[in-house]
Structure 1
Amino acid sequence: MKPVDSPERTKNRTRSGRRGGESTTRTDILTAARHLFGENGFTKTSMRSIATEAGVDVALVSYHFGSKRGLFTAVMEVPGDPISRVTAAASGPRSDLGRRLITTFTSIWENDDMGVALQAMLRSAVNDDGAAKAFGDFASGEMMPALAKTAGLSQETVRAIGSCVFGLALMRYLIRAESFTSLTVDELVDQFGPKIQAIVDQGR
């Protein structure tokens, strides 16, 4: 007669397995992605390499996160899709691009939920080399090309715009310099919109 497992033996056998359910699989994928994005950057990290690192089928990565971009935003804890927001802001008349970009930028950073997540991401990028590499590669390889393509701008122009908006984020939301935090959102838009527009108008 086949022996019947005791509850304790069954419990111990369950614990010895690699997977404990979907939540464990998702956590393993996030852990693997965080490691590989930090080590290799966004562009050079493939969905397959993340699946291999996590010990799961690559289809499970797509199942849980949809795409490599979706996985990256989950790793960095950024709500929503930053690329779609960039392209939405870049769509429209070039003559008002500077104001649209800074309006979109501040509306995201001033949002109670999204702003907190983005500040945590920025703080992580400043303090951790792996996070900095991952975010820097994502910005250079995904965000800036999306802006350049949608708005018809050169890479040089987009780099100048990026230095302005991320410099503003650093000063207002991370360093919290009084000369930046004292401004209202409308004042930020009024002051930075024309500056970014000048970069657009002078660029190619």
Structure 2
Amino acid sequence: MPQTAPRRAGRRSGDSTTRDDILRASQKLFGRNGFKNTSMRAVATEAGVDVALVPYYFGSKHGLFVAAMEVPVDPADQVRRATAGPREALGRNLITEFTATWEGPETGSAMQGMLRSVVNDESRSNAYGEFASSQMVPLIAETADVSLDSARSLLTVLFGVATLRYLVAVPLFTEMTRDEIIALYAPQLQRIVDGDH
């Protein structure tokens, strides 16, 4: 009877649990080290897989983070869509794009659940906070052609609305329709944009 060669020890290639293992490892490392200080190589080592499998499944560290944080819509895609139009419509486009995700039939409950978990879980809060600082604020500044300070102010308004309307459920915010929210905050966001130049 022929002998089977012993299986070599080492990192696993892709199998049925590899994607989940990478996700679990990334959640742990993003929570502990933040977005900036977590490399795809470190995630692969933690998961016990070949480093090439991380971009194979998730494309980039940004994609890995979005999956690990269970964000139903990539916020970078939202920003790019909102800033693709004319500058004079940027305020309206931003609040329209973000409220569409927060209240959409396919994304609303998942997005609100993600926001809730970020607020209630310190490690997720730290990871998402660093992601917003190192990725989202610079992206808004670049695509909207505004300063970092203005980009920070825009994000503050957007997530202030999200917190008060969807997490804390303050009646003054929840009693308004989405159209009323857009009508109220679009001019305020636009003033930040217009005041930048």
Query: In the TM superposition, what whole-angstrom CA distance separates every residue of 1:143-197 from its partner, at most 9, and x where no partner exists?
Result: 1111110111001001111111101000111111111111111101100000111
Contact 1:29 1:61 in 2 (8 A): yes
1:81 is aligned, of 67, 74, 92, to 74
- Within a 5 Å distance, the mapping from 1:152-167 to structure 2 comes to 152-167=145-160
- Within a 5 Å distance, the mapping from 1:154-193 to structure 2 comes to 154-193=147-186
CA distance in 1, matches of 2:118, 2:130: 11
CA distance in 2, matches of 1:66, 1:145: 21
Contact 1:106 1:185 in 2 (8 A): yes
The amino acid of 1:124's aligned partner reads S
Aligned residue pairs total 191
Contact 1:78 1:114 in 2 (8 A): no
CA distance in 2, matches of 1:198, 1:135: 27
2:48 is aligned, of 52, 55, 64, to 55
Give the secondary structure class of the aligned counterpart of 1:22: coil
Identity value in percent: 53
Instruction: Provide the residue aligned with 1:111 in structure 2.
Output: 104
Q: Which runs of 4+ in 1 moved over 6 A?
A: 18-21
2:31 is aligned, of 29, 38, 59, to 38
Alpha-carbon distance, 1:19 to partner? 6.7
Contact 1:90 1:151 in 2 (8 A): yes
Contact 2:71 2:114 in 1 (8 A): yes
Tell me: CA distance 1:55–1:109, structure 2 relative to 1, closer, same or farther (3 Å): same
**Max Rg structure:** 1
Instruction: Provide the residue aligned with 2:60 in structure 1.
Output: 67
The amino acid of 2:144's aligned partner reads A
Please identify which structure carries the higher helix content: 1
CA distance in 1, matches of 2:179, 2:84: 21
